[in-house]
Amino acid sequence: MIANINGILIIDLVLLTLVIITAVAVVEVRNLFSAVILAGIYSLLMAAFWTSMDAVDVAYTEAAVGAGISTILLLGALVLTGTQETVRRAVHWPALLACVLVGGLLIFGTLDMPKFGSPNAPAQQHPIYHGFTKQNVPKAEGGKSAEDVYAYNTLHPEDAGKHPDYFHGHVPNQVTSVIVSYRALDTMFETAVIFTAAMAMIVLLRGRRGNPLKGGLL
């Protein structure tokens, strides 16, 4: 007898099967309008899956960008092109081989990683402290984190002032700490990505005659 079935796991498996069906349909369908609609459905299903993976922020981005903005942008591209894809059935074997090889390498790379959600993973065990970033999140007087630091310092007077950020008032996980506590680092590189994207768009579209985005999106 099966000891313990996780209901969420069953739901996740069914959901992922639906996602795979949709992805195959997006590739296989010939009518471009249906492909756009199916891509939107794919994003919605992925958003549901992210939510069940407890990544609510990712899910929300997926729903807003994937199902909202992307669908609209793809429809905008559809205005400029035809609605039917030209049929090209031949399989490009070197490309398929490269895809399988790279995918296999990536999966092989994950074998070295710590177990999913393991409390012993390095990211959980080495908290980031102010020496890493030279940036401190101030601890307000009377706030929870200030109390924590005070309690820690009274318990370990020899450590007082040594590790001002050591776990207290901070997220132990390094990645979460950088994203949530040290917002500026995260935002800086996000801005760099968006800046690069904007420059690429301008370089690609500037000075083209019949620029479809002139007066519209850009």
Partner 1 sequence: MILAQLSTQLFTTDLPTLIGGLVLLLGVLLLLVRAIAGPTTYDRILAMNSIGTKTALFVALLGFITKRPAFLDIALCYAILNFLGTIAILKFVRYRRLS
> Which parts of this chain interact with partner 1 (CB under 8 A)?
2, 4-8, 10-11, 14-15, 18, 21-22, 25, 29, 33-34, 37-38, 40-41, 44-45, 47-48, 51-52, 56, 59-60, 63-64, 67-68, 71-72, 75-76, 78-79, 216
CA distance 115 to 206: 48
Q: Tokens 């049929």: give the residue.
A: 87
By beta-carbon proximity to partner 1, the closer residue of 67 and 128 is 67
Contact 136, 177 (CB under 8 A): no
Amino acid making up residue 7: G
Give me Rg for the CA atoms of the chain: 24
CA triplet 173, 176, 177: central angle to 5 degrees?
75
CB 93, min distance to partner 1, A: 27
By beta-carbon proximity to partner 1, the closer residue of 56 and 140 is 56
By beta-carbon proximity to partner 1, the closer residue of 4 and 86 is 4
CA distance 154 to 159: 9
By beta-carbon proximity to partner 1, the closer residue of 172 and 212 is 212
CB 117, min distance to partner 1, A: 15
For 12, 77, 210, the CA distances from 83, given in Å and listed in that order, are 34, 10, 20
Tokens of 77: 């591209």
CB 190, min distance to partner 1, A: 22
CB 71, min distance to partner 1, A: 6
By beta-carbon proximity to partner 1, the closer residue of 70 and 153 is 70
DSSP state, residue 84: B
Q: Tokens 């997926």: give the residue.
A: 62
CB 53, min distance to partner 1, A: 10
